[in-house]
Amino acid sequence: MSRVYSLASPLTYQTLLERLERYGKESGALRFYRTPNPESRYRVLAKDNIGVAPWPTSAGSHALIDLHVPDAAVVKRLRSHGCDVFGKTHLTELAGFVTVNALQMGYSQLGGQGRNPHGDFPTSGSSVGSAVAVAVGLCDAALGTETRGSLMCPALRNGIWAYKPTLGRYSRDGIIPLSRHFDTPGWMARDIDTIVELDRLTQWCDPNDSACVAYANTDVVLKTAPIRRLGILLNPALTQDQALRFNRWVESACRLGFETLFVPCPTTDFDYHYLVGEAFLQDMSAFLAHHAAAGQPHSATELIERYRNNPLSRPYGMERLENALCQPHLLPEELDARANDARQLARDTIASICSNYDVEALVTPTYLDWWAIGGAPSVAVPIDFLSTGEPTGVMIGTREHDDERLLELAQSLASIARR
């Protein structure tokens, strides 16, 4: 039995059970799970920063090991539509907010080091357990979250599909936050059709989430015709092998009838680390004040103090946590204004390229944070393996609110995705 489950193979209930028995623990992807319901519509796993009763929600942190959060709004939606959320996946600790050390990607004190099932390759991102679980065939789909790359990067590294929606399309209620300005849940799966169906089940205007309210109240006029013109973002940093696979995929898209145009990729700086550091102090404190029980940290400052007092919890350092405390602080309304400026810069970057080159979607062979910062939708598409056996893929994004056409585009490109 292969550790990686082919994207082209159907995942029957019996096969799922067999793979859970064989790889449930060995994969290193799962924090908690039970036997899934055979009658359920979809059998789903959720990242361990998403509330799923009856299990605790720790974000991989020993300091939050006993934190109990009720079902997140997205979990309630799924269960109301007959889906079985039957377990939780490991993640990069605190969604990657402990340290800047690249060695810690995929690591948490509670889950250890995440492992790419394709070989000795990086796992990337913070939704690593969800990505590995999908790649190994331990679920029909998995919920992850993205602040900046935590869905797209592990999907590209682990050779699966992923979708990050426009900010506000899905509720964040019941999810441990990093930043109210950029956080969103999203989907990982072995095929795009599953993601499209789960997207329909997950959408909801949650009155408890300001981003959902803003999303619902945004008056936009969207095109309905299918996307046919793709802007291919130039990336001189690709290896020869990466460039070969990427160019083959672009040629295949042309044979499907898509028009492609190579466009420049400008450098942008959104001051992300500063903005998220401030949001972490504000948003994590509000979340813990609401959900923490006696003896648990009730603020971001108390959480950081737990890390200071427990050297075993920070083998790679805790620079991001310390920097958040030390940097100049902003009032909530000041932070909102700064984050909105960054969001608008990202949206303007996307819109200007699309307008100047008359394209409707942008394609990149490596991760770009424009869509995360801009709150716009993106998908990760698996396309091939490098000569080393490492998966490679493309990321495709559109302007904000153009989710339906992006998902339709992804479906139309599925025939040239890796299977």
At residue 232 the predicted structure's pLDDT band, cuts being 50, 70 and 90, is very high
Span 291-322, pLDDT tens digits: 999 999 999 999 999 999 999 889 999 999 99
Span 119-132, pLDDT tens digits: 999 999 899 999 99
The whole-number pLDDT of residue 222 equals 81
Q: What is the 3-state secondary structure (H, E, C) of 188-234?
A: EECCHHHHHHHHHHHCCCCCCCHHHHHHHHCCCCCCCCCCCEEEEEC
At residue 7 the predicted structure's pLDDT band, cuts being 50, 70 and 90, is very high
The average pLDDT across 39-56 equals: 98
Distance CA 142, CA 99 (A): 25
Residue of 124, 127, 150, 179 with catalytic role:
150
The whole-number pLDDT of residue 228 equals 97
Write the CB contacts of 203 (distance below 8 Å, at least 6 apart in sequence): 169, 170
SS3 396: strand
Q: What number of helices (H) and strands (E) belong to the chain? A: 14, 13
Write the CB contacts of 386 (distance below 8 Å, at least 6 apart in sequence): 241, 242, 245, 392
In this predicted model, which residue has the larger pLDDT, 220 or 72? 72
Is 9 one of the catalytic residues?
no
> What tokens appear for 231 in the block?
């802007």
Residue of 61, 124, 126, 171 with catalytic role:
126
Instruction: Answer whether residue 102 shows pLDDT above 80.
Output: no
The average pLDDT across 151-175 equals: 98
Residue of 27, 47, 171, 179 with catalytic role:
47
Instruction: Answer whether residue 397 shows pLDDT above 80.
Output: yes
Distance CA 176, CA 296 (A): 14
Half-sphere CA count of 163, side-chain side, radius 13 A: 30
The average pLDDT across 13-29 equals: 96
Q: Which helix (H) or strand (E) holds 324?
A: helix 319-326
At residue 103 the predicted structure's pLDDT band, cuts being 50, 70 and 90, is low
The whole-number pLDDT of residue 237 equals 86
Closest CA relative to residue 117, chosen from 100, 97, 137, 103 = 137
Closest CA relative to residue 230, chosen from 406, 368, 419, 414 = 406
Average pLDDT of every residue of the chain: 96
Instruction: Answer whether residue 1 shows pLDDT above 80.
Output: no
The average pLDDT across 7-14 equals: 95
At residue 234 the predicted structure's pLDDT band, cuts being 50, 70 and 90, is confident
The average pLDDT across 342-347 equals: 98
SS3 278: helix
At residue 94 the predicted structure's pLDDT band, cuts being 50, 70 and 90, is very high
Instruction: Answer whether residue 109 shows pLDDT above 80.
Output: yes
The whole-number pLDDT of residue 394 equals 98
Instruction: Answer whether residue 398 shows pLDDT above 80.
Output: yes
- Tell me the one-letter amino acid at 341: D
The whole-number pLDDT of residue 57 equals 98
> What tokens appear for 71 in the block?
């079902």
- Residue corresponding to tokens 């990336």: 235
The whole-number pLDDT of residue 387 equals 97
Is 313 one of the catalytic residues?
no
Q: Which helix (H) or strand (E) holds 344?
A: helix 332-356
Instruction: Answer whether residue 271 shows pLDDT above 80.
Output: yes
Is 150 one of the catalytic residues?
yes
- Tell me the one-letter amino acid at 96: G
Domains of the chain by range and CATH?
13-218 (3.90.1300.10), 272-337 (no CATH)
In this predicted model, which residue has the larger pLDDT, 177 or 220? 177
pTM of the model: 0.97
